[in-house]
Structure 1
Amino acid sequence: MIGTERHTLVGVIGEDLLRNAKLPVLLMIAVLVSAVFVVTTAHKTRLLTAEREQLLLERDALDIEWRNLILEENSLGDHSRVERIATEKLQMGHVDPSQENIVVKQ
C-alpha cells in the first residue's frame, strides 16, 4: 500500500544526503570552513601589511629627524663657532696668566 504521507522536497533531500552521502556533506562543510579561514587570514594579512608599511614610514621619518638632530648638534658644538660667539657677542677673550685670580673657599 502506498503511504499517504506528504514529504517536503527539502526533507527528502536532507534525508537522502544524510543516508547516502555523508562523506560529500562532510567534505563540503570542511571546504566552507576552510574558505572562511582563508578569507579571515587574507584580511588579517592585509591589515598587518598596511600597519607594517605605516611603521616603516614612521621609522624613515624618525631616522631623517635623527640625522638632522645629529647634524645640528655637531654644528652647535663646533669649537670655532663657540669661540666666535664668545668673542663677538659676549666680548670674551683669552686671559693672561698674570691677570688670573684664583679663589679658594676655606
Structure 2
Amino acid sequence: MIGNERHSLPGVIGGDLLRFGKIPVILLIAVLVSAVTVVTTTHKTRLLTAQREQLVLERDALDIEWRNLILEENALGDHSRVERIATEKLQLQHVDPSQENIVVQK
C-alpha cells in the first residue's frame, strides 16, 4: 500500500525545490545577498557622511584658530616694529624696573 507511507512536509518541500525549483532558489539567494549588501553599504555610507561632517567642523575650528594666530602674529609684529623704530631712529632704551625710582639730578 502506497497510502501508508509517511513523509515529512519539510522533506517533501526540500525535495521538490531541489528537483524542480533550482532557478527560484538561486534567485532567492541572490535577492537576499543583494539586500544584505544594500543595507551594509547604506550603513557604511551614513557612517562616512557623519565622519565627514565631523571633520568639516574640526577643519572650520582649526581655520578659525589659524586666523586668530595670524592676527596675533600681526599684532606682535607691529609691536616689535614700533620697538625697533624707537631704538634705531629715536635712540630710546628699555628702562630697568629696579633703577626706575633713581632720579639723576644735575
Q: In the comparison of the two structures, how many residue pairs are matched? A: 90
Partner of 1:22: 22
Matches within 5 A, 1:50-65: 50-65=50-65
Aligned-residue CA RMSD (Å): 2.3
Return the alpha-carbon distance in structure 2 between the equivalents of residues 3 and 15 of structure 1: 19
Partner of 2:104: none
Q: Aligned partner of 1:41: which letter?
A: T
CA shift at 1:71, angstroms?
0.5
1:35-87 deviation line (CA, Å, top 9, x unaligned): 1111111111111111110001000000000000000000111123x359975
Partner of 1:6: 6
Name stretches of at least 5 consecutive residues in structure 2 with no aligned partner: 97-106
Residue 29 and residue 85 in structure 1: after superposition, are their counterparts in 2 closer, same or farther (change >3 A)? farther
Residue 85 and residue 8 in structure 1: after superposition, are their counterparts in 2 closer, same or farther (change >3 A)? farther
Name stretches of at least 5 consecutive residues in structure 1 with no aligned partner: 93-106
- TM-score (ref. length: structure 1): 0.75
- Percent identity over the alignment is 71
Partner of 1:33: 33
Return the alpha-carbon distance in structure 2 between the equivalents of residues 35 and 85 of structure 1: 76
Residue 85 and residue 91 in structure 1: after superposition, are their counterparts in 2 closer, same or farther (change >3 A)? farther
1:19-38 deviation line (CA, Å, top 9, x unaligned): 11110110000000011111
Secondary structure in structure 1 of the residue aligned to 2:7: coil
Q: Aligned partner of 2:58: which letter?
A: E
Return the alpha-carbon distance in structure 2 between the equivalents of residues 68 and 85 of structure 1: 27
